[in-house]
Chain A
Amino acid sequence: MIFAGFFAPYDPAEQDRKNPYLPPMRLHLVDHQGHFHARPFAYGVKLREGSFDQYEEDRTETFPLKFLVRGASYRFLGLVPSRLHLFGTETDRIYLLGSDSYGRDQLSRFLYGGRVSVFAGLLGASVTLLLGLCVGLAAGYYGGWRDDLLMRLAELFLALPWLYLLFALRAFLPLAVGPLEAFFLIIVVLGIVGWARPARLVRGVVLSAKERDFVRAARGFGAADGYLLRRHILPETSSVLLTQATMLVPQFILAEMTLSFLGLGVPEPVPSWGNLLSSLQQYSVLVSYWWMYLPALIMLPFFLGYLGLGSELQERAEPYKIGR
């Protein structure tokens, strides 16, 4: 996702009005006369006779696929300006995942969109976790009336209907804020609102951890609260935090998708995964242009892979299994 600019062949906002809803192009190694080409190539496309959205391959034109070509400019890692792309063609545009209603390259939009969506997920999850961790530590470690107060507050926040909260928030935000900034502001606010669940879990872990004998022993060596929290209790919460992170990041990505799907999230023309999916709202798109589903299908293995990574990390962080 960080290298979206490099992997994506085109600027995600660049339109090609001549070719809306173009199906994914096939890459060929053997041309229609049976000759073999070492470099994969695609045929040009033309509208089928008497149709406005059916294309067929135009075998008179070929676009050989070139690697490391110069194309639309972008900033590498957000800093270094560059025009280098992993692949592309020299003459006409090539659509490996088809194009959308404005003739924008779906692959580029998917890659750039992932950048926005995943960043939103990470941002929201880290805000939530950080806040939840602090509140959970305080409630669990100090106990007493502070614990009661914080937990009642947490229950209040758990009861908030987040979708309606979002609508309200979106309505309250001033129009002067840029659309993308407004979106990230919403994600941050969502993150802040979500502190209750991780806080409750962290509190539970802290409650049991502070009664563990090794924490008592360390107190017996004259350790102060700060030391105990940092050296003994914080590491105990790591596995809960990891589980929460594995759950929250996709949850926030989904929240972004939901928002964008409803038109409240990332504004066009900035691509995001939610925006890609929101084009599926139209019946005609659902029925006629099957490649518009492709981003959804690619997201599946992404989420599965992420969950797998999360559970792997969690097992590594669990010390109790070692040597037993």
Chain B
Amino acid sequence: MQADVSPTGPPLVELRGISKRYGELLANDGIDLRIEPGEIHALLGENGAGKSTLVKILYGVIEPTAGEILWEGRPVSIASPVEARALGIGMVFQHFSLFDELTVAENIAVALSSDWSLATVRSRLGDISRAYGLALEPDRAVWTLSAGERQRIEIVRCLLQNPRLLILDEPTSVLTPQEAEHLFVTLDKLSADGCSILYISHKLEEVRRLCRRATILRGGRVVGAIDPRERSAREIAALMVGNEVGEVRTGTAHAPKGEMLRVTNLTLPPAGLHGQALHGIDLVAHAGEIVGIAGVAGNGQSELFAALSGERPTESADTIAIDGRPCGTAGVDARRRLGAAFVPEERLGHAAAPTHRLSENTLISHAAAEVSRSGFILVNAARRLAGAIVKSFDVRTPEGDPQARKLSGGNLQKFVIGREIIRRPRLLIVDQPTWGVDAGAARLIRQALVDLAREGSAVVVISQDLDELFEVADRMAVIHHGRLSALRPISEWTKEAVGLEMLGVSQSQGAAHAV
């Protein structure tokens, strides 16, 4: 259990009036935060609320513009992560700070001070693994490991330094529900041992499961310090987002009509060094329905998307049929002409060219349509189209026709999805539609996907966000190690069942092995 939060001694760490300015943008604005010894303290907020900036300041990666940090009551300045670690602060990054080509032991040793030899790391690795149930093989190369295992490396790396404060930045975003529960048990144990934990998340349920105190950030400011167990999820969400978040209106699914997409026995070797092969994937999407593909990152989602969109054509045309026409060997543009549209995961650099203006970015998927003629760009038509997308999808832009990179993540994602939906595709395939997008934008995007399906298009949503899939999908399958589970109606899935499929355990075996 957590140590009692009693205000007798000084807090372990106290932030006073921390501000960080990037040019015009105030990423942190006078933030106060107290963390008591042994508590699990949540830092809640939407993407862009300033959570990551704040913890990077605490970990010495970023210098604050103003404000002071008190460690056990003494003012300290933390100029680098090395100094943070010397104080006893450890951090598990959201995007892992690991080196793919190095082994587990090397990855750990490189972050420790020089009196740690590789041999010492190996032996202590065993101790820590046993104490906290974090199994790791020291000589495996990191690129061969799953996301859960990679996170364990990060955690073990921190624990080896006997931290007094452990910072975790969105730790469950890459984990299966079972792996996440396993992590929570480890964290409870650490907290009981007297280690303070600063837990950053935008998932309310896990914060309520773990924490007694939560600080909520919005727009770089503290907007509330609460006990998450005493407030409803809706109340907390309102604090985080600023106004009430509506739910997506799903409407009633029509009886599915014609087959818009049929994938038959799709098998592909891995594309790159660390790629994932696809094995015998079968998939059907009908007009009027949303098909969800769940799975933990790196299980073949990007490969599946590349095969469906035509970025990586298959050997036989018959493996993929759009609107009844075989097109496995066809390229992206040919598939667009069949009525399909695609939104890849990576917004900047894949779905949009960062230094091109929004109007120029319309050409990426509209080249065949109204914005060019005989090889020439119709500049005014492109501008009008960009304007129409900006207007109907509520894209907030800093100026009239800005470069794509100047938009925030959420706004660019609205633009990219809007660009495809405005073409009224009869089949839309989208990978991670709301990854790293604030709640307001996410809701708008999900609503747009649902509306498109209700108007009679087929939509395939590949996502790692289970809540999102349960909200919008009509049928769902789980991808694991390049194999797709059976496609079943959403009402027949439970989170537990999805979690087991994500781990590659079929349901009958799973009951015995459930974590």
Do A and B come together as binding partners?
no
